[in-house]
Amino acid sequence: MGTGYLDQLKQEAFEVNMGIVRERLVVLTWGNASSFDRTKGIFAIKPSGVSYSLLKWQDMVLVDLDGNVIDSKLRPSSDTLTHLEIYKGFSSVGGIVHTHSPWATIWAQACKSIPILGTTHSDHFNGDVPCIPYLVKDKVENAYEKETGIQIVKFFEEKKLKPIHMPGCLLSGHASFTWSETSSQAFENAIALESCASMAYHSISLNSKIKFPKYILDKHFSRKHGVNSYYGQK
């Protein structure tokens, strides 16, 4: 294993890219993850269209915030510019996971936000996970992946959503993105999103009028997040 700093970044991104396959969030090559070093302004991301069964950590592609590939013969993921815009727009984000995980994608295709219905959801996402509208035609045709990232950032700004309190979103007709301070936390959020998406689908079919109390949402989110958190070992 490499020991240099950028090798570590590649290894970190590699671990998460393999994790999303192992956890069945990714079928075929429908997903990618990246790890960002904000001090250096460089992120490591999966190469485009390479089969997960052949992937090595050395294959991760380093990209700077201008979109330049650093020292790699492989092309980065076709979704690279979306990752880049999220890193530029969300200053606290250090890792991003994009997957077509089935249940999150089911909501995305339905163009619906995932409603918050219980404490599993509120431990990770402080409210409904928003579904962002279809991009308009000329943005799709001219700079699809870049515009997708820009649209995510703009949506969060307009809705006054904090990226760390709402560490993910759906894209209409497409799939999901999750993020966090590190890529391994972004990976946990991707797992949580998929579980919550599945449970929400079925819970609303049992009861279309669920009103999950705000005070339980707040309690659970604050058990795990913020200065008064008391979950875990610290």
How far is residue 59's CA from residue 46's CA, in Å, rounded to a whole number?
A: 7
123 counts as catalytic: yes
Site string for a copy of itself, 141-160 (x = CB under 8 A): x--x----------------
Residues 6+ apart with CB under 8 A from 148: 79, 81, 82, 85, 135, 171, 174
CB of 38 to a copy of itself, least distance (A): 25
Site string for a copy of itself, 44-83 (x = CB under 8 A): ---xxxx-----------------------xx--x-----
CB of 168 to a copy of itself, least distance (A): 15
59 counts as catalytic: no
CB of 91 to a copy of itself, least distance (A): 26
126 contacts 219 by C-beta, under 8 angstroms: no
- Of 64, 134, 218, 231, catalytic: 231
CB of 183 to a copy of itself, least distance (A): 16
Q: Which of positions 153-192 make contact with a copy of itself (CB under 8 A)?
A: 173-175, 188, 191-192
Nearest CA to 187 out of 113, 94, 63 is that of 94
How far is residue 11's CA from residue 7's CA, in Å, rounded to a whole number?
A: 6
Spell out where 153-218 has E strands: 168-171, 176-180
232 near a copy of itself (CB under 8 A): yes
CB of 165 to a copy of itself, least distance (A): 18
Point out which span in 4-12, 26-34, 90-98, 151-159 binds a copy of itself (CB under 8 A): 26-34
117 near a copy of itself (CB under 8 A): yes
For a copy of itself, the binding residue among 200, 221, 227, 228 (CB under 8 A) is 200
How far is residue 148's CA from residue 154's CA, in Å, rounded to a whole number?
A: 10
- Specify the DSSP class assigned to residue 129: B
- Other beta carbons within 10 angstroms of residue 184's beta carbon come to 18
Residues 6+ apart with CB under 8 A from 127: 116, 161, 165, 166, 217
The two three-digit tokens of residue 167, written as one number: 């560490």
4 near a copy of itself (CB under 8 A): no
- Of 123, 128, 144, 201, catalytic: 123
Name the phi and psi angles at 33, rounded to 5.
-135, 155
Which position has the token pair 């950032």? 153
Residue 104 DSSP SS3: helix
Residues found near a copy of itself in the complex (CB under 8 A): 27-28, 30, 47-50, 74-75, 78, 100, 102-103, 105-112, 117-120, 123, 134-135, 137, 140-141, 144, 173-175, 188, 191-192, 195, 198-207, 210, 212-213, 215-216, 219, 223, 230-233
Active site amino acids = 123, 231
